[in-house]
Amino acid sequence: MTQSNLAFKNVSSDLDIQLDPKDAKLSFVHIVVAFFAFLLGVLGGLLQGLARGGIIELPSWLTYYQILTAHGVLLALVFTTYIIFGFFFAGMSKTHGAFSDRLRKSGWIGFILTTIGTAMAATMILANEASVLYTFYAPLQAHYIFYIGLTLFIVGTWISGVSIMIHYFKWKKQHRGEPTPLFGFMATATIILWIVAGLGVAATVLGQMLPWALGMTDEINVLLSRTLFWYFGHPLVYFWIMPAYMVWYLVVPKVIGGRLFSGSLARLAFVLFLLFSIPVGFHHQLMEAGISEFWKYIQTVLTFVVVVPSLLTAFSIFATFEQTGREKGGKGVFSWLKKLPWNDVRFFAPFMGMLFFIPAGAGGLINASFQLNAVIHNTLWVVGHFHLTVGTTVVLTFLGMAFWLIPVVTGRKLTKSMNRSGMVTTWMWSIGMFLMSGAMHILGLFGAPRRTGYTTYQDAPQALEWFQGIFVSHTTVAVGGTILTAAGILMFYNFVYLAWFAPKGHTEFPMTPPPTDTPHTPAILENWKLWIGIAVVLILFAYTIPIYDMINNAPPGSPGFNNIIK
Ligand code: HAS
Ligand code: CU
């Protein structure tokens, strides 16, 4: 045995710990909420696609913007957050040992608070008192209960997040001098990002929106609230993608029978995400007046820096694939690809997510380029972009994960027929999204706006064209959306089967063994104080002067608009 293999054996011994049943239960309740939100969100998407394309007319008691808000909130915020925490609780228990009773209890408290918050916000959306879309931009104003719900949601996730972090740091303390398990390292980076980013949304919700919705203030500084929102909103998209990357780095290598290419590179990517995901929110506000071009420029440069860790990820994962394919006897430039397990949904679903992320990421670079942003901003292109990124890359990765995570936490078997059903779901999701997102991108280039219900703009010729193309019209969007809904319903069936009906038995929790370079991981990568310190400096640099300006030279405030969209 070589030296590095010996060292690797020492580090890996902790991986044999079984998942504690109490931790499995905490993970499971998160997954259950996630999939109910998923089903409702997907059904909302269908109605919206059909209504927007002029194919159906909504009844008078249901508005387009109400459904749009429910769809965005349920899928982008609720589904993602719950499945991420379900994954984190299970993965931490697997890689760092069972949670202590105290920490598990605080995990439950976090879950309950988050769920109360979700229920409050959802009730207000259903009552048409919060049709403010998932970005809840001022001056659209929601009922104050919606904002209280949002606050509880965020605070609940912080409590859960801190429980996970304490579990990680306890391990670190007990194993001084050893590199921490990659799972905990990556989960901790994601949670720190989430907490620091959440400060922005907490500031605008508690400091601006709640007093305004309660009538304590008449007007709101819209520019400031949007800026605080995007201070949170961009890291939010990394809060979604980082756990998906964790599946790619830690789960997929094991599923394909290989090993992660490099642990140090993976850690470096996550540190870079922590440093550069936050001071970049202005790339969502490039077309906005009131922010000087200098600060937009600075944040655009930082945006291009935060692309680097995604490129490192692309390299790492591709290298893992090639290494594994060749170890299994694959030859030639690309024929090793044949050695990958194409019929295994645990690999295939995340793989399709990766494939979609190539054009999705390229679209992101286009968005971040100032002049090109002027072409696509506020058009359907952006909606196409985020249905590829979060709606395909992240969702397909999480759906693929569900096929092993659910049976692991319920003590059941991933059966062959479920695997087949998962393959069908993945294909349907991919085809539906290809049609829908493709059409959205092109419609956006033709000028079709986002955030609008069905309209032909008084039969303006340009607007009528958006309804006429065979592959690029609102009809294509609706057709893609219908296929997606069918995929979503099938996925819900998969979830119900795996959660309650699959035969009892053992399912593997696929976790890659520590990469061979683990003993040589540079210690500095574990220096959290340093990284948090640099992240704070970058945030202060990118935001202090613009925010100071927004407050001191505030634009006229705006009253709330809360009934124009009813
Ligand atoms: Fe974005 C708007 C820029 C990534 C989500 N984005 C949005 C919105 C959402 C969103 C939700 O600069 C809309 C918000 C709203 O409602 O207004 N985005 C970027 C950039 C990136 C990016 C530069 N976005 C994401 C991710 C998201 C997401 C990730 C969710 C998960 N985005 C923007 C901008 C806007 C925007 C502007 C505002 C637009 C406007 O005007 O409103 C980058 O991080 C992307 C980097 C990624 C890559 C791809 C790397 C490829 C990989 C796959 C490897 C494949 C393998 C398989 C290994 C460069 C990692 C290979 C195997 C084979 C066999 C081939
Ligand atoms: Cu962004």
- Per-residue pLDDT tens over the stretch 168-194: 999 999 999 889 999 999 999 999 999
Query: What is the Å distance from ligand 2's center to 333 Cα?
Result: 35
Q: How many CB atoms lie within 10 A of CB 328?
A: 14
Q: Is 394 in the pocket of ligand 1 (CB under 6 A)?
A: yes
Return the pLDDT at 519.
81
SS3 287: coil
Res 425 pLDDT > 70: yes
* % of residues, the chain, pLDDT over 90: 88
Q: Is 226 in the pocket of ligand 1 (CB under 6 A)?
A: no
Q: Is 382 in the pocket of ligand 1 (CB under 6 A)?
A: yes
d(Cα 372, Cα 381) in Å, to the nearest integer? 11
How confident is the prediction for the chain on average, in pLDDT? 93
Out of 104, 226, 412, 450, which one is annotated catalytic?
Answer: 450
Tokens, residue 139? 């001056």
| Contact of 256 with 323, CB cutoff 8 Å | no
Return the pLDDT at 203.
96
Return the pLDDT at 563.
59
Q: Is 318 in the pocket of ligand 1 (CB under 6 A)?
A: yes
Tokens, residue 7? 């060292």
- Residue having the nearest C-alpha atom to atom 54 of ligand 1: 314
Residue 450 appears among annotated catalytic residues: yes
Higher pLDDT, 562 or 285: 285
Res 306 pLDDT > 80: yes
Categorize the per-residue pLDDT at 12 as very low, low, confident or very high, splitting at 50, 70 and 90: very low
SS3 259: coil
Categorize the per-residue pLDDT at 517 as very low, low, confident or very high, splitting at 50, 70 and 90: confident
d(Cα 163, Cα 167) in Å, to the nearest integer? 6
Which of 539, 523, 555 has its CA nearest to residue 185?
523
Query: What is the Å distance from ligand 2's center to 364 Cα?
Result: 8
Mean pLDDT within 38-54: 94
Rg (CA), the chain: 23
283, 305, 316, 340, best to mutate for ligand 1 pocket (most atoms within 8 Å of CB): 283
Count of residues in the chain: 566
Res 15 pLDDT > 60: no
Tokens, residue 163? 């429980």
pTM above 0.85, yes or no: yes
Residue 167 appears among annotated catalytic residues: no
Return the pLDDT at 274.
97
Q: Is 255 in the pocket of ligand 1 (CB under 6 A)?
A: no
Categorize the per-residue pLDDT at 334 as very low, low, confident or very high, splitting at 50, 70 and 90: confident
SS3 343: coil
Determine the atom of ligand 1 nearest the C-alpha atom of 368. Answer: 12
Determine the atom of ligand 1 nearest the C-alpha atom of 313. Answer: 60
Query: What is the Å distance from ligand 1's center to 224 Cα?
Result: 25
310, 340, 437, 452, best to mutate for ligand 1 pocket (most atoms within 8 Å of CB): 310
- Residue having the nearest C-alpha atom to atom 7 of ligand 1: 386
Tokens, residue 181? 């398990």
Res 125 pLDDT > 90: yes
Res 118 pLDDT > 80: yes
Res 416 pLDDT > 90: yes
Return the pLDDT at 4.
36
Mean pLDDT within 195-205: 96
Query: What is the Å distance from ligand 2's center to 285 Cα?
Result: 10
Categorize the per-residue pLDDT at 393 as very low, low, confident or very high, splitting at 50, 70 and 90: very high
Return the pLDDT at 566.
45
Tokens, residue 203? 């500031």
Residue 267 appears among annotated catalytic residues: no
* Closest ligand by atom to 68 CA: 1
Mean pLDDT within 435-457: 94
SS3 220: strand
Return the pLDDT at 471.
84
Residues in a beta bridge with 558: 220
Return the pLDDT at 90.
98
Residue 451 appears among annotated catalytic residues: yes
Residue 259 appears among annotated catalytic residues: no
Mean pLDDT within 273-288: 96
Tokens, residue 95? 């890689």
Q: Is 310 in the pocket of ligand 1 (CB under 6 A)?
A: yes
Residue 283 appears among annotated catalytic residues: no
Please report, as a single letter, which amino acid is at residue 399.
L
Res 13 pLDDT > 80: no
334, 382, 396, 441, best to mutate for ligand 1 pocket (most atoms within 8 Å of CB): 382
- Residue having the nearest C-alpha atom to atom 8 of ligand 1: 386
Categorize the per-residue pLDDT at 17 as very low, low, confident or very high, splitting at 50, 70 and 90: very low
Return the pLDDT at 469.
84
Torsion of CA 511, 514, 516, 518, to 10 degrees: 150
Q: Is 530 in the pocket of ligand 1 (CB under 6 A)?
A: no
Return the pLDDT at 492.
98
Out of 377, 451, 454, 467, which one is annotated catalytic?
Answer: 451
Q: Model confidence over 239-263: pLDDT tens digits?
A: 999 999 999 999 999 999 999 989 9
Mean pLDDT within 469-497: 95
Q: Is 302 in the pocket of ligand 1 (CB under 6 A)?
A: no
| Distances, alpha carbon 536 to alpha carbons 7, 229, 275, 392, in Å | 36, 17, 8, 31
Residues in a beta bridge with 561: 140
Taking the mean position of all CA atoms in its chain, how far away is CA 229? Answer: 16
Q: Is 80 in the pocket of ligand 1 (CB under 6 A)?
A: no
